[in-house]
Amino acid sequence: MTTPGTFEILNSDPSSSARRGRLWTAHGPVDTPVFMPVGTQATVKAMTPLELDETGAEIILGNTYHLNIRPGIDIIEKCGGLHRFMGWNKPILTDSGGFQVFSLSGLRKIKPDGVEFSSHVDGTKLFLGPREAMDIQRRLGSDIMMAFDECTPYPCTYEYACQAVTRTLSWAALCAELHPRNGQLLFGIVQGGEFADLRARCARELTAMGFDGYAVGGVSVGEPEPVMLEAVRNGVVELPVNRPRYLMGVGVMRQLVESVSLGIDMFDCVMPTRYARHGTAITKARRYPVKAGEYKEDTRPVEEGCDCYCCRNFTRAYVRHLFNVNEILGVRLLSIHNLHQMTMLMRGMRAALDGGRFGDFKQEFLEANKEDR
């Protein structure tokens, strides 16, 4: 077993910053570039771990904020940690709760050592800061822990983004100090909004603290795509080449391909399962509402050529019928398909990087992908 935290760069694309890597964790290796399905409430919605595994998922996300509110860390610890609690033996990354504290809770008070906020469930006063986030993630037993940060909204003034970077850095320093170094990895998060100098400063100072990996946060919060990609470009430029880089909350296929070429290795997004619940299929070329009436008699699979369980066995007419009569299986089948599509895209990028043809892959993909912006 290779030491957790080891990151091998197996191939690099000469025409861009894309790389093909392998990150070792306490629950095994993760081949990058990778897409991580989101399991907010200790479940990737509607999927059993077995089904998730069959979609090709290598690593999934858990959520510090939500799991700490319900069922509470004591119960998960009593059940043997998050892996055993949810029956998933492969790697798990947990976010720090920073994003939820700043986006979900209406009433909050930012203090030097964290944030006082009201639970979005019952209004109870709670407190989450770097100490609490590190303690909870340690007890969850996540393979990759995230430092507690302040995620700024879009738009955001320079002054506020600057203050948030300062707070993020001081909280990151405390997280680094509290890192148990027991095989659980710790990633720092680059903030700074749309401001190049703040992104660079944040990345530089985090790098000096020496994390196992680095994330670009505060993106995909409502900004236009060019602004997002510019923040990614500015966010990675000062990061060390030999550590993994994770772009938080981005899951639009075209944006994944663009971000890989900017040097991103890891992604997460709720989109594949959220779209599935709304009856929308993700395909290489576009997204479309398979629940729509026009597919009533369509005998083709959700996507022709897809080898997922849904597409191997069922027609659009059947999946559309399930949604039409509110059968749970519709959501489940479409979740399998959508997650499989994300995995296949990442596998495609990895194979292209291995074969030295990422540039062609990217060009062909972007030409074929007509997804609306």
Closest alpha carbon to 206 in 188, 185, 180: 188
- Name which of 136 and 306 has its Cβ closer to Zn ion: 306
CA distance 257 to 362: 7
What's phi and psi for 163, nearest 5 deg?
A: -60, -40
> Of these, 311, 322, 331, 334, which contacts Zn ion (CB under 5 A)?
311
> To the nearest whole angstrom, how small is the minimum distance from the Cβ of residue 369 to Zn ion?
17
Say which amino acid occupies 220.
Answer: S
308 touching Zn ion, by CB under 5 A: yes
306 touching Zn ion, by CB under 5 A: yes
Give, in order, the Cα–Cα distances in Å from 343 to each of 32, 228, 299, 340. 11, 23, 25, 5
State the helix-helix crossing angle for 253-261 and 358-368, rounded to 10 degrees: 150
> To the nearest whole angstrom, how small is the minimum distance from the Cβ of residue 325 to Zn ion?
21
> To the nearest whole angstrom, how small is the minimum distance from the Cβ of residue 314 to Zn ion?
9
Contact positions with Zn ion (CB under 5 A) in 33-52: none
What's phi and psi for 266, nearest 5 deg?
A: -135, 145
245 touching Zn ion, by CB under 5 A: no
345 touching Zn ion, by CB under 5 A: no
> To the nearest whole angstrom, how small is the minimum distance from the Cβ of residue 236 to Zn ion?
32
How big is the site for Zn ion, counted in residues (CB under 5 A)? 5
Task: Let me know: does 160 contact 151? Beta carbons within 8 Å.
Answer: no
- Name which of 68 and 338 has its Cβ closer to Zn ion: 338
**Catalytic residue IDs:** 95, 268
> To the nearest whole angstrom, how small is the minimum distance from the Cβ of residue 346 to Zn ion?
15
- Name which of 215 and 344 has its Cβ closer to Zn ion: 344
Closest alpha carbon to 28 in 198, 185, 187, 194: 185
Residue linked to tokens 């910053």: 17
Listed ranges 200-208, 233-241, 274-282, 310-318: which one lies at the site for Zn ion (CB under 5 A) = 310-318
- Name which of 65 and 275 has its Cβ closer to Zn ion: 275
Say which amino acid occupies 171.
Answer: W
CA distance 182 to 88: 20
- Name which of 112 and 305 has its Cβ closer to Zn ion: 305
- Name which of 189 and 308 has its Cβ closer to Zn ion: 308
Closest alpha carbon to 59 in 144, 134, 146: 144
Closest alpha carbon to 147 in 25, 248, 241: 248
Q: What element of type H or E holds 142?
A: none
Contact positions with Zn ion (CB under 5 A) in 324-343: 337
> To the nearest whole angstrom, how small is the minimum distance from the Cβ of residue 283 to Zn ion?
8
Listed ranges 26-34, 92-100, 152-160, 298-306: which one lies at the site for Zn ion (CB under 5 A) = 298-306
Listed ranges 95-103, 246-254, 259-267, 300-308: which one lies at the site for Zn ion (CB under 5 A) = 300-308
164 touching Zn ion, by CB under 5 A: no
Task: Let me know: does 64 contact 73? Beta carbons within 8 Å.
Answer: no
Q: Which residues bind Zn ion (CB under 5 A)?
A: 306, 308, 310-311, 337
